[in-house]
Amino acid sequence: MKNTLFLVLFLANFQLITAQYTEIINSKRPGFSESPYGVGTNVYQFESGMFYNSSNDESLGAKAKTLGGELFFRVGKFKERLEFNANVAYQRDEVNNFPNPNYHIKGISDLTVGAKYLFYQQEFTDKSKEIRSWKRRTAFDKKRLIPSVGVYGGAHLNFLGKDYKSDEGISYKGALLLQNDFSDRLILLTNLLADNITSEDKYYSYIVTMTYAINQNWSYFIENQGKYYNDFSPNYQFGTGIAYLVTENLQVDASARTNFFDDYSYVYATAGFAWRLDRHKDAFVYKNAPQETMSKTPNRKGFFSRIFKKNRN
């Protein structure tokens, strides 16, 4: 009895503080958009997949087919709200520029390093404890219209294959990351990006992704992406895909996308997985005044973890 009382008093003097970590993997795949939330401190996450795309510009008589693979590495350090990441892609292109013969190029096509930070995390009222009024318990929380906000900054390094190198060297990108949790199942991500900022090939784009959880394991998304180049010529793509949660630390996925309103055809498909090495430890902050309970901040972040909130045993 004394030991039990001591444990209760000990826990009452601490409060669990967490703003990022979830027990379910938080993955960027399979869409192109990114959540403002990170993976959590001391979490090492690998997101990898194979991709294929083909394009056909009849006006120029040019066709291209690409097969490649990419690896996106994410790690949380120093603060729960801060994440560092790096992306590397290797691809092989077959190009047909009629009437010239086909030719092939291959090599590392992308090497990007960056970091993101969660500036504002939206919190919602727990209406499950509202027992007096069914209407209040089921009413839409207007706070859900205000998104969580994060920012991203990164650099495209020029350690690429000879056919993919840029004459201008390193270029930079930045993004504003927004997330609305309309319900426990329905999530909206909005990304506003500026890429190749210091390059002549700079462009601006947006990505809007709607994610819906069918059940605890299956989820799907629809996505729209628009790009605007220096000559103000827009490019629009639409994609959809599914993901399956194998374990709390492993997700597999597949997706496809194409373009509309353009004078050329484009098809892109990818399949892959996300896996994390979880070394996260909860941070306890000492409080002078005893607390009656030990509170946890719920998280809504990745493709699955931003939808489902699991209690730890």
Q: Where are the domains of the chain?
A: 2-286
Q: Per residue in 248-304, pLDDT tens?
A: 999 999 999 998 766 778 899 999 999 999 887 766 544 444 444 343 444 444 555
The pLDDT of 151-163, averaged and rounded, is: 92
pTM of model > 0.85: no
The pLDDT of 233-260, averaged and rounded, is: 91
Q: Specify the fold of 2-286.
A: Porin (2.40.160)
Average pLDDT, the chain: 80
What pLDDT does residue 128 have?
63
Higher pLDDT: 83 or 128? It is 83
What pLDDT does residue 10 have?
34
266 contact partners, CB below 8 Å, separation of at least 6 = 53, 54, 55, 237, 258, 259
What pLDDT does residue 12 have?
35
Lowest-confidence segment of 74-78, 83-87, 258-262 by average pLDDT: 258-262
Confirm if 53 and 288 have CB atoms less than 8 A apart: no
Q: Per residue in 164-214, pLDDT tens?
A: 888 778 999 999 999 999 988 899 999 999 999 888 888 899 999 999 999
CB atoms within 10 A of CB 35: 26
The pLDDT of 103-126, averaged and rounded, is: 89
List the Cα angle 88/250/36 in 5-degree steps: 60
Residue 137 has pLDDT above 90, yes or no: no
